[in-house]
Amino acid sequence: MQAFPIQIKPDEAAKELAEMNKKVVRGLQTLSSLTNDDVQVGTAPKTAVFQLDKMVLYRHTPVVDEKDLFPIPVLISYALVNRPSVADLQENRSLIRNLLKLGIDVYLIDWGYPTRADRWLTMGDYVNSYIDGCVDYMCDAHGLDQINLLGICQGGTMSLCYTSLHPEKIKNLIVMVTPVDFHARTNEEVVPPMLNTWGAGLDADLMIDAMGNVPGDVMNFGFLMLQPFNLNIQKYTDMVDIMEDQDKLLNFLRMEEWIFDSPDQAGEMFRQFIKDFFQQNKLIKGEVELDGQRVNLQNIKQPVLNIYAEKDHLVPPPCSQALRHYVGAEDYTEKEFPVGHIGMYVSGKAQRDLAPTIADWIRAHAE
C-alpha cells in the first residue's frame, strides 16, 4: 500500500502554525503603524494647466535646468479604466519621475471620474475634444505646431486614433502595451488572450442600456476574474511574507490603492470601445468612425515607437505588434520588455531601461 503523498507530522504542523501566527502579529504591528499619507500614489509635483469638463491636464514640474529641458513636450494619455498614477506609483517606481530626470517635459491627462451626466460621452469626445484640447493648449503654451504623444494601454489606442485624425499636430508617437489587433492569434501557452476573450463575449448594449455608465467595481471584478486564484487569493496569502518589511508592504499597498481606484466608464464610450474594437476589430480594418471621420492607421506617417510586454496577459504581444502592418510610418521601432502588463511600470528592469529608451528615441527624432 502506497503512503499518502502528503505527510504531515503534528509537531511540525504546530511549529509552522506558531511561526505563521508570530509573522502575522508582527506584520499587523507594521500595518497599524502606517497612515493613508504613507500610501499616497501619483505624488510627483505637478500643476493643473488646462481643464475641460472633468478632464484635467497637468504639467509635471521639471527637475532639470531650463536649458537642459527638451523643447518638445510629451503628452501622456493613459487608459480610462484605471488612474494614471501607476506611471508615478512611488518615488523609486515612477516612469514620470524618470522621464523628468532625463530632461523630458511631461504633461499628463487625468480623465477624472465620470458621473451620470457623462453617460453620453463618445469616443469622439475623448479623442477630438479632450485629447485635441490638451494638444492645442501645449502647442500654444510652447509656441509649437506639434508635440510628442505617449499613449498607454487603452490610451495608446486613443492616441492612434487621434494621430490618424490629426497627424499635423503630432511630431512623434509612442505607444505602450497598446491593443491594436484585438483578434490577434497568440501563443496561449505563454500568454492567453484573456482580455480579448472577455470583451468578445460581453453584451455591451445590455450593460449600458441597463446601467448607463459601467461602475468601476464591475470593471475591477472583471479584471480580477481573468486570474481569479492569483489575484484574489494567492497575492494575499503571499502578503503575509512581506508584512514585516515596511518598504515591501508599502509597495504592495500602493499597488492595491491604484488597482481599486477605478473610475466608472462613460456609457457610450464603453459601448463603442467594446463593440468596435474588441468585438468587430474595426481599428485594423479602417472602419472606426469618430464624429463622422474614418480612422485610417495609414495616415500615421510620423515616427512610431511601439513598446510592449513579453508576458502581458491583458494585451499579449501579437495584439500590439500588429501595428507594424497597418501604420503608414516608414520609421517604425518596436521594443520588447520581459515583463507583464503592470510590470512595465513597476518592475526593476523597466525602471532601469524604460524611461531611457523613450527619452533617447525622442531625442533621436527631434528633427
pLDDT of residue 191: 46
Interval 102-119 mean pLDDT = 98
pLDDT of residue 245: 78
Banded pLDDT at 351 (limits 50, 70, 90):
confident
Interval 245-265 mean pLDDT = 85
- Which one from 134, 153, 161, 319 is the annotated catalytic residue? 153
Total-model pTM: 0.89
Residue 16 has pLDDT above 90, yes or no: no
139 catalytic residue (yes or no): no
pLDDT of residue 260: 85
Bridge partners, 74 (sequence order) = 106, 148
The mean predicted confidence, pLDDT, of the chain is 89
Residue 253 has pLDDT above 50, yes or no: yes
Domain ranges of the chain: 36-364
pLDDT of residue 193: 54
Banded pLDDT at 293 (limits 50, 70, 90):
very high
Banded pLDDT at 1 (limits 50, 70, 90):
low
Bridge partners, 50 (sequence order) = 57
Give the model confidence (pLDDT) of 317-341 as tens digits.
999 999 999 999 999 999 999 998 8
Banded pLDDT at 276 (limits 50, 70, 90):
very high
* Single-letter residue type at 58: Y
Query: Where would I find the H helices in the chain?
Result: 10-32, 95-101, 123-124, 132-142, 154-165, 194-200, 204-211, 216-224, 228-229, 235-239, 246-259, 267-272, 282-285, 317-321, 343-346, 348-364
Higher-scoring residue by pLDDT: 141, 314 = 141
pLDDT of residue 190: 43
pLDDT of residue 137: 99
Lowest-confidence pick of 4-18, 42-56, 294-308, 343-357: 4-18
Give the containing element (helix H, strand E) for 94: strand 93-94
Higher-scoring residue by pLDDT: 184, 290 = 290
Percent of the chain past pLDDT 70, that is, above it, reads 91
Interval 196-206 mean pLDDT = 81
Bridge partners, 306 (sequence order) = 175, 334
Name residues whose C-beta falls within 8 Å of residue 183's C-beta, 6 or more positions apart in sequence: 196, 281
Contacts 24+ apart (CB under 8 A), 124-129: 124/290, 124/291, 125/269, 126/80, 126/158, 126/269, 127/158, 127/161, 127/162, 127/165, 127/290, 128/162, 128/165, 128/290, 128/291, 128/293, 129/52
Tell me the three cell numbers of residue 132: 485635441
Give the model confidence (pLDDT) of 336-347 as tens digits.
999 988 889 888
Would you identify the CATH topology of the domain 36-364?
Rossmann fold (3.40.50)
Distance CA 98, CA 172 (A): 19
Interval 257-272 mean pLDDT = 92
Interval 1-26 mean pLDDT = 68
Give the HSE-up count for residue 352: Cα atoms under 13 Å, Cβ half-sphere. 6
Tell me the three cell numbers of residue 284: 485594423
